[in-house]
Structure 1
Amino acid sequence: MEDQLMFSDDDTPVSPTKLVWRVLTVDDDPDFQRATAFALSGLEVLDGHIELLQAFSYREASMLLAEQRDIAVILLDVVMETDDAGLRLVRSLREVIGNAETRIVLLTGEPGMAPVQEVMHDYDINDYWTKSELTAERLLTVLTAGVRGYSQLRSVARARRGLQMIVESSNALFCSKSTRELSAKILSEIALLLDLETEGIVCVSAEESASGGESTVRIISASGRFFRAIDGGLDSLNDITVAAALQRCLLEQQSLRFDHATVLFFPRFQAGADYACYVDTERTLDDTEMELLKVFSASISRGLYNVALFSRLEEMAYQDDLLKIPNRNALIRMLDLTLQGEAKDERVLVLIDIDNFSGANTAFGTGYGDFILGLVANKLRQTFSGNVLVARVRDDLFAILGPQSEVRAADIVELFRRHNRPYEMGQVHSLSSVTLHLSDFSGTASVALQNARLSLKQAKRIGHNQHVVYNPAVQSAHAESYRLLLALRDAVEAGRISIELQPQVDLRTRKVTGVEALARWRQVDGRMVPPLQFIPLAEATGYILPLGDLLMRLALQAARQLADAGYGDIRTAINVSAPQLLQHDFIARFTTHLRDAGVQPHQVEVEITESVAMQSFETVCGQLAALREMGVAVAIDDFGTGFSSLSYLRLLPADRLKIDRSFIEEIGEVDDDKMIADAVIQIAARVGMQVIAEGVETQQQADWILQHGCREAQGYLYAKAMPCAELLVWLGDWPGRPA
């Protein structure tokens, strides 16, 4: 049952039985005050009697007017403490207090002190008389005109305030999300609009029965003596008159007006269902009040319609259309509440993913997939109590949010195992899951869900039927990776990315045949970031495209410097990633960089890894063939560390294979007949490629590879990678180095 709203009985207004017009006389002359009081005693104006208030100074009148706004007419003397005290009181009333309805009649015993034409032009007063002219008969005429003007202005002001209140209350009505909440607001706003007690107002709805019979009238909100009748029928009001008025309103499908009550009707075509609201006014409402009620009723109708619409939208927004269980939006909403609640540390979030669901969909169609999803959803709903939220996040990803004592991933996975019938059609054979203990997490619901999904995705890479527990350290690593990516972007823009060149040597002639351009990142504090740390990060995020372009330009500039120094026969090897090579305009961009650097194609070698070579094989072959046709050499780096097929290797347009340093490190540690380096050398010979070894650090390694047919090498035995200027010095000294 929705929350009920009780109304306060404080500040109960009193309904007058006869009109009263309040008149204030402001004058410091006691004799004039007594004479005026005598003249007004027993006087009636426009069916109302006069209630006289008196003030004897500007200060006294100002205090009284600041507290009481329902004064119809003021008889005001011009000269009191000062010659302009009365005129100053006029400005104070109109401009400071802001009272525009009260009528002001200015009185003076000395006309010359305040000339009538100037006063009427400069001050907001309604009449001006000398005291000698104000006979008893004329006083009645003046008061009648003043009271009539005041009454009309009060009606206009009340209507304006009523309309303003309706506009303001409309916002509150439109924000209501349930019929109970809206009806409670209706009760309160009607009481304010009509200046009534919130004691005798009842809202009911006519609900259609499921069998199509007569509608059932239910009290959805009530105040005062009717409060206990909420959620009951009309008979629970214990008031035959009120019940009959509501019943008649619903039957006649129209609003009703009685001497001491009004019943408002809201039809279903405006409000989404039939509603009626009984208002105990204790008096007959005047025409202005009825017009205001009519306008307010239109707002109420729209509010009721919005509630019905909101209920439907709520269902659409927070319910999975296929499985009729909460969806991702509902999970996020509940997860947010849980993370902010006191029981957070006792709750867990478990994500469950059906292994190879997309494969099953592809093989058997979406109908089969929907059937499997239904099996999982029904099983989860049957397993858990109402304390546990079961939701579908997306596709075949489900979430369970609840107490740790009830939600255990291992038990959930067991729910779907049928050991005696493991191959039954429609059976879920394998699930992967992740558990996130909310006690280990601080952040928003969206971030919690993202982190859990990322952990599950990493677990599924291992294989089927995986279960992991979320580790906060993983999120820290992700945050550090993101920070590093931002720093890399800033480093590129600030020019802190550079290259160093490592020589490649012919083992027989000891001639330097080439250099490999290696990326370097020096941070502001002077520390170096290893390429193995930032290159994979750039590849994973796509930032390798601008970074790769930069490194290519730097390498080609180095090639130009080598040529200018007389080393035009030394080729410069440039590493190219898969995203770069697979760009449709890669050849055009590469050609532009060559031309801008003033480098000949034969001075350049493009290095790709074998894993890159196996991606989109036909496209890669086309790009490499275009490079070789230009005169650019092609090398396959890290050969033997991936999963390439030897049958594809024969078709690959490449000039050289590079033996990975991990195979060179085996020399002297592994028997020759088990050496992978020897196998790589033989494979290269079979497919007509040259071979080069990297990571050569000892003379033993150099001798071994030369003996087995590898003529080129690079590594610390010869030189580390160095900036181009340092390389040029090294090249000048190289021929004199000892063998």
Structure 2
Amino acid sequence: MLAKFAKDKKLLWGFITLLWMSFTFFAVINYYLHKNLLIDTAISSLENQTQVTGYTFDEWMSARKSVVISLANELSENTLSDHTKIPQSYFNRIARTELLDFLSYTLESNYYRSNPWVIPPGYSPNTRPWYTETKEALKPITTNPYISVEDNKTAFIAFTVPIIEQGTFMGVAAGEVEFTTIYNKILGSQLNHQGKFHLVNSQGKVVLEGNSPLHKISDSSVVDMSALIQKINSENKSHLMTENKIYAFYPLKHNTWWLVSEVDKSIVLQPVYLQLRNILLLFIFLAFSTYILQRLYSSRVFKPIIKQFQTDWQTTLPNKNSFLEGIQILSNNGSHCGVCLLIEYLDMSALMSNYSNEEIREIHREIIRRVQSIYGKKLIQGSIAYDQIAFFKPMNQVPNISKIDKCFEQLQASLTNNFLINDNLITIKFRFSSASIPNDGSSFDILNKAQIALSTIQDKGNNFKSYTEHTKSKLANETKLVQALNTAIKNNEFSLVYQPIFSFPDKEIEGVEVLSRWNSQALNKTIPPLEFVQIAEQNNLIHDFSLWLAKTLFIQISIWQNNNISFKKYALNLSSHNLHNPRFISKFIELIKKHKIDANQLEIEITEHVAIEHFPKRQNPLKQLRDLGVSISVDDFGTGYSSLSYLKQLPINTIKIDRTFIKSLPNSQHDIALSKAIIDISKEFGLHLIAEGVENSEQADFLHKCGCSHMQGYLFAKPMSAEELEAFAAIKKPS
């Protein structure tokens, strides 16, 4: 692939084309996703602003209308013949509040009174639009806009109330406001996306246009209002979107007008256009950078990198990848048979300590000459590890097993001979293994088969092993189990069960031991914990499994706490691999804090062989957990061969008597002696003691007499699910 990148321009332009297609696809998806999001956001914002402004406008008009209504009520309650009863100062005071530009009332007798205003000659209030509209309506109204009689240009609206005395229309009280005031106070509000407000009548005509330099009555049409009203009512929404515009509407309460807000879609979508531009610029930059990088890589970096990738620097032989690639090339060219030979030094560390790299390379070259003397020079060779050399002998037919064994006998005799280094003869010990194509595998896995055969050779006895069907079957089963285990961790196939720990003889629950169960969906069977835990440890899956166990347990503890269910201790087993992994310890402590678990309720169970392992003094994981409040328990105590000194050196709280010592109690004198000794040890060191595997009352009574008062086993309860444990604990709960 590196060679193609360095030499093949078609690959370069293919990559750039693929990059362009990816960016185009991304740009299109980004455009439509962000377009809809921006439009939805703009509509929501526009509707909210329109409703707020419309509500403000309604309140503004209500305040002014109430002044006019008060005046009309005052006139109606008094005899209109005394039309001077309301003093002029009342009108002057209203004028000073600036609620209304003009406050007046007009009688049928053409009597007119208002705040100070020079009445133009020939002015007849009874003929003004606001008077005639009110007389016709006989109810409070907000009139349609009309033109001032002073300059024949300024637009006004009036809030009018009919004056009625004993059912007879006597005149009109009116409060007039200039449209400029409405614009400045209401419609001049700033809209998002550079939008603007309009006042629109029921016919869809603009009566006042936002941001207009002349605030006058307009005959221009915004939309078909009848169609608009029908659309809004049918779809139950308060906005309309056309090809270029977005409108939001608010029906005003005091007349038949609508407050209309308007924004251009092009302004709303400006962020999308900017993103598309940035995407294009990024593509150009990446395409240009890729081209320059390819040229530099091809001219200055490719050859030394290829050499480094294909060669083992210690031996100067082709490395493992080059070795496998050579076998694959032969297979692709039609050579489907051959033998893979793997040679391993048994004392490479000693050689590296006593000889230079060049001298060791000379040993490698001598081994190659001896192998070629037996198998011929047509060999693929490679350095597989610092202490392993592999050879592949291509053949025209299926390898004969007896012939392979004969060649190995010759090779063993050849390599038994001493090697000459610096005029000194030295003896080097080796191990050999082989696997053949197609008997044992394909070109893809033949080296792995040879390595598996090599790993089965014991330290003593024969130093040669060929891959066999039994090895293949064992490998296949183990591979399936590993794959199933990996899938099980990801798919949450495990479950937790809980076995209570009891005090004796009152048989109260003192805690629970948390155990895992696995019913494999892939293998369609239940796998014992001892088997899958060992597989997890051997294949670096124990970290993920143990974190799953801890997380699942902590979630269950949280559920129990929310339901007022609690146990004194929750004991769970951790592997030696977990304790030697600082990242796991850190993650485990993080889970405790995340789920707000009381660390004093947790107990970590470790096996005796883990307890005697060497832990660093500065960052001892057991001490870290103990300092947090977590208890440490030694499981299966007494089954190891260790010194008792670790009980004093390590931060241990509890020891558990192994079930193998309990099984034959109280009939076995040997087990009686061991059990009593362990009980005495726990007392001597001040440790909590639990007996495992108690299955009958005779065992429980004997242990209790010897001083052990905490037990678990089938005599008391089997491992059970969380739901079963809840029901069991409820029955056992003291009344």
TM-score of the superposed pair, with normalisation by structure 2: 0.48
Determine which structure has greater relative contact order: mean sequence separation of CA pairs < 8 Å that are 6+ residues apart, divided by chain length: 2
Return the TM-score normalized by structure 1. Answer: 0.48
